[in-house]
Amino acid sequence: MPSLSKKAYYDYPDLALAGNFNLVNTEELFAKLGIEPGPFQKQSDLAAMMEIVHKHLVDADEASPAKPDIKNVLKEVIPQFDGGFTVGGVTGDGVGFVFRDPHGIRPCYYYVDDDVIVAASERAAIRTTFNVGENEVKELMPGNALIVHEDGSFEIEAVVGPKERKACSFERIYFSRGSDEKIYKERKALGFNLSEQVLNAIDFDLKNTIFSYIPNTAEVAFLGLQKGMQMYLNKIKTERILSWGKDYDEEKLEEMISRRIRVGKIAIKDVKMRTFITEDASRNEMVQHVYDITYGTVRPGIDTIVIIDDSIVRGTTLKQSIIKMLARLQPKKILILSSAPQIRYPDCYGIDMSKMGDFIAFNAAVEILKDRGQENLLHELWQQCKDLKAQNLLHTENLVQKIYKSSTSTEIANKIAEMITPKDLGLPVQVIFQSIEDLHKACPNNLGDWYFTGNYPTPGGNRVVNQAFMNYMEGKNERGY
Amino acid sequence: MSDAIKHECGLAFIRLRKSFSHYLKEYGTVMWGLNKLYLLMEKQHNRGQDGAGIAAIKLNVEPGHPFMHRIRSAQPQAIGALFQNIAEEVNELTKYNPEIVNHPGLMKGHVKFLGELLLGHLRYGTQGKNNAEFCHPFLKRHTMTTPTWR
């Protein structure tokens, strides 16, 4: 096995590191250390983190061989990282530590009792594993480190001054498991918050609308949406019954109170079909069958299908599979809901969404510019990016935000609907997204929203988005970091 | 979720605060910490299914004896593969000495991953190539004279 270190016989402290993170200044870190990263290290930001933590650990060890001060090491090292991170480490001296980025982008929780000290990315995982209560598991706050000394004592220490909290909202929308007490409620709120837009889109015609979700993670948001619909229906029932005065009998009352929201399990996630023949027609046929439908759930030509997903990134599965499949049921209309807002910008803090051309919202905004004969803006911005890059100022401003300036959110949603509707479908498709305000209301502790707004919490973010845009314009299919 | 988005990873950190004899007495097994690590990792399997890794540190080891171990896998069901590997070592050990499980000191000496400090990681292969070499934890160690890793 290869060692990460070439200086195999030099006596320095042992260290193991692992994390949930992404750094956007890896090159800078290597340059600082005077290391020319090899082909392996270049691809790994953990390798850069490893080198820098280790270097400081060696210095601390030389300064105080008996007991190197890990706290100081972390305080020196962590402020140098630009990114989102939760990292765990253990040293050969028997010291353990876990630290979290100053914006709290990546999640981290911990639990302590007489027998054990635990840290993990998700609270519910700790609760289940150790059978403990919600409040017994604590959040490791942004910029803090949990340090466990050799003797088993521990401390929580601020290792980098906390900055504005920008915990990743995608953790709540989709990534973390929905079994978490708070995440479950937040996902339901996301679905609930779409209620008003949905009622308007179906013209309040609940009788001829059937609700469903795209499995499996959108199921919880669906429950919230269902609650919103039920509340509206209950309000209508009460109004009607009150308007009757004394003019009703048992049958009439029973008919009214037994009215329900129509829900069904319409879409089914199927096994991934193998595309054993690569010719396009065969491939398209197989791709379509990633999802299946339940037959007989929809009255052809009468019912509108409302179906909720947690987010729409590329939109390809919707176009190639889900919408085609749903259309087989011959609904009057298909309404797709996204419990996340429009994904318009790349993430660079640990989620693999890095290429502009992958985002259907971006492609829609570009299409709108083209429709209006304004595609020149793209070239102007590209030139501005090049100028900034030449001055090493790419991190100062997110220029991609200007591409969205001239379109409303609804215009982009409608364009997305157009783009994901297969030709000759023969029925209308509408797409509705969560608004950013409603996202924040639903997930008040996770206000990190750069993939929706372009407001990156660290300067590296602007550099990444501008670089991603330049890659797009240059036809390069690679990450912006 | 119709568009699968990948995510960089999950973390599991465990520090046992007592000696292994305590866990044997209280919970009936010296493997308590490793069992918890397995659970903690599996309960976060949503955070990464392309690979996994574990590092373990044994405290207060006699000089010259290996105290840091690591295992990583980029196989499908990587978490299971890691713990299967650990289990095989234990099974091999207990096959001829079934009584050894009641001797925490001997177990600690023989089972590589029976450490007090445990660090687990789950990975989605988003950065770098998707092989075990890119799985966390990464190590930096001071000598190759005690080759203790796989």
Confidence band, pLDDT 50/70/90 cuts, at residue B149: very low
Strand order in the sheet with A304-309: A209-213, A304-309, A333-338, A429-433
Separation in Å, CA of B107 to nearest CA in chain A: 19
pLDDT for position B145: 41
pLDDT for position A6: 35
- A8, part of any domain: no
Q: Are residues A197 and A321 in the same domain?
A: yes
Using alpha carbons, list the distances in angstroms from residue B73 to A156, B78, B115, B120, B124. 32, 5, 19, 12, 12
Q: Considering only CA atoms, give the Rg of chain A.
A: 26
Domain extent at residue A306 = 184-473
CB-based contact A19 B136, cutoff 8 Å: yes
Bridge-based pairing of strands A429-433 and A333-338 is: parallel
Q: Are residues A282 and A379 in the same domain?
A: yes
Three-state secondary-structure class, residue A117: strand
| Domain final residue pick, A135, A165, A195 | A165
- A177, part of any domain: no
Q: In this structure, are residues A351 and A451 in contact, taking their beta carbons and an 8 Å threshold?
A: yes
Place of tokens 């759930």: A297
pLDDT for position A422: 93
Q: Are residues A154 and A210 in the same domain?
A: no
* CA-based torsion, A330, A333, A336, A342: positive or negative: positive
Q: Are residues A222 and A304 in the same domain?
A: yes
Bridge-based pairing of strands A304-309 and A209-213 is: parallel
* Structure tokens that stand for A193 in this block: 């918050």
> Nearest CB to A16: which of B1, B43, B68?
B68
pLDDT for position A68: 79
- A132, part of any domain: yes
CATH architecture assigned to B10-134: 2-Layer Sandwich (3.30)
We report the CATH number of the domain holding residue A370 as: 3.40.50.2020
pLDDT for position B130: 63
* C-alpha to C-alpha distance for A8 and B78, rounded to whole angstroms: 29
Three-state secondary-structure class, residue A34: coil
**Closest chain B residue to A116, measured at CA:** B16
Q: Are residues A335 and A198 in the same domain?
A: yes
- A306, part of any domain: yes
Helix (H) or strand (E) holding B16: strand B10-16
pLDDT for position A161: 85
Cβ pairs A/B, distance under 8 A? 225
Instruction: Identify whether A466 is preceded by a cis peptide bond (ω within 30 of 0).
Output: no
Show the beta-strand stretches assigned E in A29-102: 83-91, 96-100
We report the CATH number of the domain holding residue A114 as: 3.60.20.10
AA identity, residue A69: D
pLDDT for position A12: 55
**Closest chain A residue to B123, measured at CA:** A20
Bridge-based pairing of strands A144-148 and A96-100 is: antiparallel
* C-alpha to C-alpha distance for B115 and A91, rounded to whole angstroms: 12
* Structure tokens that stand for B96 in this block: 């001829």
* C-alpha to C-alpha distance for A35 and A383, rounded to whole angstroms: 32
Q: Are residues A192 and A130 in the same domain?
A: no
Q: Are residues A242 and A367 in the same domain?
A: yes
pLDDT for position B141: 74
The question of ipTM being above 0.95 is answered as no
Using alpha carbons, list the distances in angstroms from residue A317 to A56, A172, A358. 47, 22, 13
Residue B32, Ramachandran bin (φ over 0: left; ψ between -120 and 50: alpha; else beta): alpha
- A174, part of any domain: no
Q: Are residues A290 and A151 in the same domain?
A: no
Q: What angle do CA A305, A310, A315 make, to 5 degrees?
A: 75
Query: Which residues in chain B (80-119) have CB-CB distances under 8 A to chain A?
Result: 116-117, 119
Percent of chain B predicted with pLDDT > 90 = 64
Using alpha carbons, list the distances in angstroms from residue A195 to A58, A148, A408. 58, 47, 20
* Structure tokens that stand for A176 in this block: 């973390």
Domain limits, chain B: 10-134
Separation in Å, CA of B21 to nearest CA in chain A: 12
pLDDT tens digits, chain A, 481 residues: what are they?
A: 444 443 333 345 789 999 988 888 888 888 888 888 887 777 778 888 998 998 898 888 888 877 778 999 999 999 999 999 999 999 988 999 999 999 999 999 999 999 999 999 999 999 999 999 999 999 999 999 999 999 999 999 999 988 999 999 999 999 899 999 999 999 999 999 999 999 999 999 999 999 999 988 899 999 999 999 999 999 999 999 999 999 999 999 999 999 999 999 999 888 776 667 667 777 777 778 888 889 989 999 999 999 999 999 999 999 989 999 999 999 999 999 999 999 999 999 988 888 999 999 999 999 999 999 999 999 999 999 999 999 999 999 999 999 999 999 999 999 999 999 999 999 999 999 999 999 999 999 999 999 999 999 998 999 999 999 999 999 987 777 7
Separation in Å, CA of B1 to nearest CA in chain A: 6
Arithmetic mean of pLDDT, B75-84: 92
* Structure tokens that stand for B104 in this block: 């925490």
pLDDT for position A146: 98
Q: Are residues A246 and A348 in the same domain?
A: yes
Would you give the end-to-end CA distance of chain A in angstroms? 29
CB-based contact B43 A129, cutoff 8 Å: yes
Would you give the end-to-end CA distance of chain B in angstroms? 37
Query: Which residues in chain B (15-74) have CB-CB distances under 8 A to chain A?
Result: 15-18, 22-23, 26, 33, 36, 39-40, 43-44, 46-47, 53, 55, 57, 59-60, 67-68, 70
Query: Which of the pair, B127 or A296, is modelled with greater confidence?
Result: A296
Q: Are residues A251 and A379 in the same domain?
A: yes
* C-alpha to C-alpha distance for A315 and A328, rounded to whole angstroms: 19
Number of domains forming the structure of chain A? 2
Q: Are residues A157 and A198 in the same domain?
A: no
- A3, part of any domain: no
Using alpha carbons, list the distances in angstroms from residue A330 to A299, A305, A308, A333. 8, 10, 18, 8
Three-state secondary-structure class, residue A452: helix
Q: Are residues A468 and A351 in the same domain?
A: yes
Looking at residue B99, what DSSP letter applies? G
Q: In this structure, are residues A24 and A83 in contact, taking their beta carbons and an 8 Å threshold?
A: yes
Beta-carbon neighbour count of residue A473 at 10 Å?
Answer: 17
CB-based contact A5 B140, cutoff 8 Å: yes
